[in-house]
Structure 1
């Protein structure tokens, strides 16, 4: 096969003595046995996306390995010394259940320590939200977590957090990436200073659980907690380290843990994907819920920042809620509790994202609270907290099953969110209602918004080109009509221009640039096209809505909205 010059140059670099013998041997093996894999491993540098850097583990500059992560860490070390001159530097590192996470975390710790930086390293796997909490608790300038969230077993990743506890955002991320890109592999300091590496565990765990209970508990009576039957699954991930303890200490006694999925395991042997967005992932939990006659099911992804929830409908059948629905339920509950406590005075806000349900705006308005909307990813919600210190942050979420309660953790947090949704369920049940009924009532009060996600997987170099071309086509040939409805507005977040198709008027959007397009139709539907920042996918987020005059008419309204969604999918040929 003909190898492109840029790929050949990268391959040759990895065959120099800068790289160890095992790495060089693995590269040579790819050259002789897997030329296509060689191309995929070297055609570009692994990039930071929505949730940090994620990729397949292996050799090459487009793979997760000790050299790509070492280079990141060396560049980050140089940047830390630059922006915090003459200060004692401290970082904290956590990792999840994935293959090689513990050894890669030690490589990262070694490089930081070799650069004279004090390292707090968790002695075992821990949830990602605990890393964000620990960063502020320990007064660190930076934090790293080794995780690939819900990606397949062959993946790992590297997420960078800053001193406020949130992930890095522009312009800082660009400055860090620039330092990393201009660094050569032979500049990485791998020889650790073990005296600067301090292992942490129990003290942080206790403080984290205590904080989670403080932020997500709302005077639920002990009897109500005793009457709630909960099924929980960690899907082989890190949440087993925190959520059972948090629920127990918060007073929830009837928690049934799916035993087959309680052991951390990077192969995720009982599921096709450890992603709580996928219904299949909660199959075993739903079976246990029926066996135990439980009221609610909660499942978390491997690094414990997102949660999937199932509840019983009015026929007693367990149904899965989507991320928009859980976000609405938890936000409404928080707003109600804040109002009851007399804490809403117009100086509070909730957070959401451009691809999440517009119902968040309706809900916030009904309580006299601002809803700030940012790009996809909780780093933007964390940035809102930092940018508006005069406002109190109540909570916020995004459609991809993430939620954040208060600001003790500056990232999506399935520990506090699990406790919060159990508070919602316990109080609803005690009042003779249910989570499901509470949701329907919210639709009556605020309008019935229904969302649907179409996710098209396009793997590898060719897939990336195909995704890029789809976005180019949508920009160069913007849709004028979708499923018989006129498009009235197009927002292009790459150009920061919103175009009113009825008047021809253009306006500038004050939000960071991103490769996202949003179409609005005359009947109030919203369709967003966005390449994923963490997976080889292009995603289409569809939101439709209708008035719901009573709970009794829910089924008919839902059928109407389902048909509308299917017409949009067919009209846009999203197959």
Structure 2
């Protein structure tokens, strides 16, 4: 075998020691015998860290992989941290898992480690969506929780989303403090793998019922649902956990004509009908939209494996199904909630909405129109959840979301919630259908009123250690040599969230950014275009977000303006990447 960095080699040697089980040792030896240097380096060059979505990676052997030991170490570190914070309080955690390969076994493993640390565990006895875990943490009064999932990543991945006592994914300072505790564990012998069954309580569908009842109480127009109860809805869980909750939720709200995409109804971690189980992808939505077209449905919905993201397709002005992007879905939900509250005369001065820094400005414009405060957070729904917790009783959260297809109406949980979103999307469709409008009609009306916002996301995948270094170099290059024009349009402002400063390129004025440090750059043009560059916190990718805007004089101008904006976006992306 060729030369491997001594630090990496030391880690490889450690995993060959007797403290690791024979199966693990054999897998490492197999990689060595195959001279699989790239895989060995990628598997051992670092330890998995908490990102915007927790612990996430490819399953396999190694410190940079999801396996018994990386999950055990993370859980032991979290257990140690919980005990240091809650010294005189009995500690409770909740654990759930999705349909991914090994998720159920990993869920049991995590429960075993917590129980061995004398922590009471509420373990779901069957796969359930992520938002239900957030709800359960709050319901049971837990101090923490863990969801075993890699969200919408490819089948090779799994992950570990850690939650705090508010049902929100762990944020600062707890995230780094937990990592510190994890890093103190230098030996497998420090991980308590031997379960104490007395500390593990099984959770059944009783939580489902409580969750659905609480959500139904949030309904804004039950009369519209009653009038359109036969609304034709197509739904796909894309082989994930949504099948356990979304159909039941829609039924509980009163919808009687829901059609499941049967080819994708069975939970399956191999996701056999799609390349990526991500409702952001046209391929993942294809079966659902085809069924929608065949049935002449009113609404097409699909959720990702852990059912916290939702994809939507609606009929456009030509009667063909068109996928909505996350910005469009978020804008529609925001408008529907705020307009409904206004009509009911129930908007209050302390009401607010939340969006992330890479999510469309259209949402802020809608909130401003209703004189509702809008807050902006870093990318990752955990920051939205954190904002809800921080404001507490000083305000009322109504709706929020992020461009990556994650939304939440009401504050029953502290994470994005596809089941909750599906119910409101169906109700919204029913409400507008009673007025003779489709969701696409409403979207075009929003564009006429506030401006036609067109967004595009380009993700560049850069795998392994070499890829991580390439992404880092790309961000360094953009900081050292930022573009001064994009698509021939002058850049007037650069926001650097890592250095926490916004610079006006015309005046040289610098303004502090009042958000936590994050490796994100934003370039704002004289036209108000916003282009963001951000390494993903959960995938081996660097992401470029572009948002441009033009007036939409009339509905008849939609296609012409859309084409113009498309050309502009494509030119901007060519200039920056």
TM-score (norm 1): 0.98
**1:210 and 2:210 equivalent?**
no
What is the DSSP-based 3-state SS (H/G/I as helix, E as strand, rest coil) of the residue aligned with 2:498? Answer: coil
Deviations 1:239-277 (A, max 9, x none): 000000000111001101000100000000011111000
The one of 543, 546, 550 equivalent to 2:547 is 543
**1:279 and 2:279 equivalent?**
no
Match of 1:122 in 2: 124
Choose 340-349 or 329-338, whichever is displaced more. Answer: 340-349
**1:194 and 2:197 equivalent?**
yes
Residue 571 of structure 1 deviates from its aligned partner by 2.2
Structure 1 Cα separation of the partners of residues 204 and 277 of structure 2 = 25
Residue 56 of structure 1 deviates from its aligned partner by 0.6
Residue 216 of structure 1 deviates from its aligned partner by 4.2
**1:363 and 2:361 equivalent?**
no
The one of 376, 383, 386 equivalent to 1:383 is 386
Structure 1 Cα separation of the partners of residues 157 and 223 of structure 2 = 40
**1:259 and 2:262 equivalent?**
yes
Residue 460 of structure 1 deviates from its aligned partner by 1.1
Gaps of 5+ in 2: none
**1:467 and 2:479 equivalent?**
no
Structure 1 Cα separation of the partners of residues 551 and 30 of structure 2 = 62
Residue 226 of structure 1 deviates from its aligned partner by 2.5
**1:512 and 2:516 equivalent?**
yes
Match of 1:309 in 2: 312
Deviations 1:544-564 (A, max 9, x none): 001122222222221221111
8 Å contact 1:327–1:403 — kept in the other structure?
Answer: yes
**1:499 and 2:500 equivalent?**
no
Residue 187 of structure 1 deviates from its aligned partner by 0.5
Match of 1:20 in 2: 21
Q: How does 1:228-247 map to 2 (within 5 A)?
A: 228-247=231-250
Match of 2:443 in 1: 439
Q: RMSD of the alignment, in Å?
A: 1.0
Deviations 1:295-316 (A, max 9, x none): 1100000000000000001111
Match of 1:329 in 2: 332
Match of 1:372 in 2: 375
Deviations 1:133-185 (A, max 9, x none): 00001110001000001111111000011111101111111111111111123
8 Å contact 1:99–1:266 — kept in the other structure?
Answer: yes
Structure 2 Cα separation of the partners of residues 223 and 70 of structure 1 = 49
Structure 1 Cα separation of the partners of residues 528 and 465 of structure 2 = 37
Residue 214 of structure 1 deviates from its aligned partner by 2.1
8 Å contact 1:220–1:423 — kept in the other structure?
Answer: no
Deviations 1:49-102 (A, max 9, x none): 111111011111000011100001101111111101111110000000011111
TM-score (norm 2): 0.98
8 Å contact 2:225–2:431 — kept in the other structure?
Answer: no
8 Å contact 1:225–1:251 — kept in the other structure?
Answer: no
Residue 222 of structure 1 deviates from its aligned partner by 4.4
8 Å contact 1:215–1:416 — kept in the other structure?
Answer: no
Match of 1:566 in 2: 570
Structure 2 Cα separation of the partners of residues 117 and 369 of structure 1 = 42
What is the DSSP-based 3-state SS (H/G/I as helix, E as strand, rest coil) of the residue aligned with 1:267? Answer: coil
8 Å contact 2:95–2:147 — kept in the other structure?
Answer: yes
Structure 2 Cα separation of the partners of residues 156 and 569 of structure 1 = 31
